[in-house]
Chains A and B, each alone.
Chain A
Amino acid sequence: QSVLTQPPSVSGTPGQRVTISCSGSESNIAGNYVYWYRQLPGAAPKLLIHRNNQRPSGVPDRFSASRSATSASLAISGLRPEDEADYYCSAWEESLGGPVFGGGTKLTVL
């Protein structure tokens, strides 16, 4: 059972917009930065969004994110087949002294 709650899977067709939710609590998302990582099959996680809604250099503006109180969300617009991957949210957990992660959401592009 992950500390942050994500839907196990989402799907969409090419060109569509999908969102992935991430639900936490006062001890993690509220008051701490949220990060989003993308993990392609068989690959390492890669930073997609940092500090709630900031895109690192090289990440297209099709990816956007927001945070509100104890939850966050990632939006992907203009869906492409290569977006198929697992997406993880993460935030600092006060009781742990380190980051916690969501269980991951598998995005399928139909």
Chain B
Amino acid sequence: EIVLTQSPGTLSLSPGERATLSCRASQSIGNNYLAWYQKKPGQPPRLLIDDAYSRAAGIPDRFSGSGSGTDFTLTITRLEPEDFAVYYCQQCATPPLTFGGGTKVEIK
């Protein structure tokens, strides 16, 4: 099983600031099949990034993904009020399709 470790656990930032979230895998993720989701309370997850860097339909370009192998990053260039949420990475290469523990981006 591929274990995903997300850091930091919590990120305290102000609107307009840049957020950098990390996702590290216990082994290389084949074809960089790494996705990022945004999760807000009472709502389903929302796909942001697929295949490490491909933005999903309708996702603003302030969200970007990068990385390969075992180290991946989600960057939000300028935080908007609606971006404060929990973010999860998921490897979609090898079953079980594990999620990371999440990074909470909170308002400072």
Say if A and B assemble together.
no
Q: Which residues of A approach B to under 8 Å, CB–CB?
A: none
